[in-house]
Amino acid sequence: QGKAGGRDALSFYQRGLSDRLRARTQLEEELRQAIARREFIVYYQPRMGVQPGEVVGAEALVRWRHPQRGLVLPGEFIPLCEEVGLMRDLGRQVFEQAARQQAAWIAEGHRLKLSVNLSPREFEDPALLPDLERTLAATGCPPQAIELEITESMLIDEGDQPLRMLQGMRALGLSIALDDFGMGYSNLAYLQRFPFSTLKIDRSLVQAPPHERPLAEAIVALCRAMKLRPVAEGVENACQHQWLLAQGVRDFQGYLFARPMPVLEFEAMLNGCRSLTPEPASPAP
């Protein structure tokens, strides 16, 4: 009896495992097709300045427009793309869409900093720099208008590969942001070893309860001392916004202002923001 029960339990577990493997294999196959069919689109989340409604930049965030499941978020497919070697192709598609879009905005007279995320696999790829350079040239996007976002985990390397990669990006004219700062084992020495322009303060610090605020405040002060531009991520309420403004933060992202959105919606917001600049006073009737 007990033995039979044990065997059933085991076969149940095995079935569970093989189901998961099958689901994974199926997702991998779907992802390959989705990349070939270009089902990925870039959403844009505005980076806000200090003036009400002022958009100073945007972060490109990929979404999968799945034919059955609708819009799928990156957390659901990026890890598998990384694992099975699909991230290079996906990342290149994202960068190309973003660069093309940025070139169009520049042609329309917008001056935005557009940031694009890189994954660990992309960051290790020796073909990355030549590919980025080629895409910038092909789209007509000036490198100065693009910022690449990387995370600290990509910098943990015995050798000088990460530094060389970042220097290569700078040499192309791209700027570099350190993303999610304060989330993991934030290594302060990295801030002077690597050529960052921007430091993105992780939303866990931005959303910290008031008694935990001194840490974020110290990071903002550190940015000032090191001439890094702090960007607050994940600003969800006016209270967080006011506090960070008082600390001297000038750039903000978060649901308080806007969620990541499709390009047309983002452009509507950009144009709305333009008309927010005060009209010259018209003579009273």
Q: Binding segment for ligand C2E among 57-65, 221-229, 237-245, 264-272 (CB under 6 A)? A: 57-65
Nearer to ligand C2E, 88 or 194 (CB): 88
Q: Binding segment for Mg ion among 42-50, 114-122, 213-221, 239-247 (CB under 5 A)? A: 114-122
The owner of tokens 């000036």 is 142
Residue 94 binds ligand C2E, judged by CB under 6 A: yes
State how far the Cα of 107 lies from the Cα of 281, in Å rounded to an integer: 30
- With CB under 6 A as the contact rule, the residue among 97, 119, 198, 240 that binds ligand C2E is 119
Which among 53, 244, 47 is positioned nearest to 149, based on CA atoms?
Answer: 47
> Using CB under 6 A, which residues numbered 153 to 192 contact ligand C2E?
179-180
Residue 234 binds ligand C2E, judged by CB under 6 A: yes
- With CB under 6 A as the contact rule, the residue among 97, 101, 102, 117 that binds ligand C2E is 117
Which among 27, 43, 40, 133 is positioned nearest to 93, based on CA atoms?
Answer: 40
CA 269 to chain centroid: 20
> Using CB under 5 A, which residues numbered 145 to 174 contact Mg ion?
149
Q: Which does 131 bind (CB under 5 to 8 A by kind): Mg ion, ligand C2E, none?
A: none
DSSP letter (8 states) at residue 148: E
Contact (Cβ atoms closer than 8 angstroms) between residue 215 and residue 189:
no
Q: Please, which residues have CB within 8 angstroms of residue 143's CB and are 6 or more apart in sequence?
A: 136, 172, 173, 174
Q: Cβ 192 to ligand C2E, closest distance in Å?
A: 23
DSSP letters for 39-77: -EEEEEEEEE-SSTT-EEEEEEEEEEEETTTEEE-GGGT
Q: Cβ 97 to Mg ion, closest distance in Å?
A: 16
Rounded to the nearest 5 percent, the helix, strand and coil shares of the chain are 55, 20, 30
Residue 61 binds ligand C2E, judged by CB under 6 A: yes
Residue 180 binds Mg ion, judged by CB under 5 A: yes
Residue 240 binds ligand C2E, judged by CB under 6 A: no
State how far the Cα of 200 lies from the Cα of 198, in Å rounded to an integer: 6
The CA-based angle 255-261-262, given to 5 degrees, is 175
Q: Which does 78 bind (CB under 5 to 8 A by kind): Mg ion, ligand C2E, none?
A: ligand C2E
> Using CB under 6 A, which residues numbered 187 to 226 contact ligand C2E?
203
Residue 118 binds ligand C2E, judged by CB under 6 A: yes
* Amino acid found at 189: A
Q: Which does 98 bind (CB under 5 to 8 A by kind): Mg ion, ligand C2E, none?
A: none
- Please give the residue ranges that form the binding site for ligand C2E (CB under 6 A): 45, 60-62, 73-75, 78, 91, 94, 117-119, 149, 179-180, 203, 234-236, 253-255, 260
- Please give the residue ranges that form the binding site for Mg ion (CB under 5 A): 117, 149, 179-180, 233
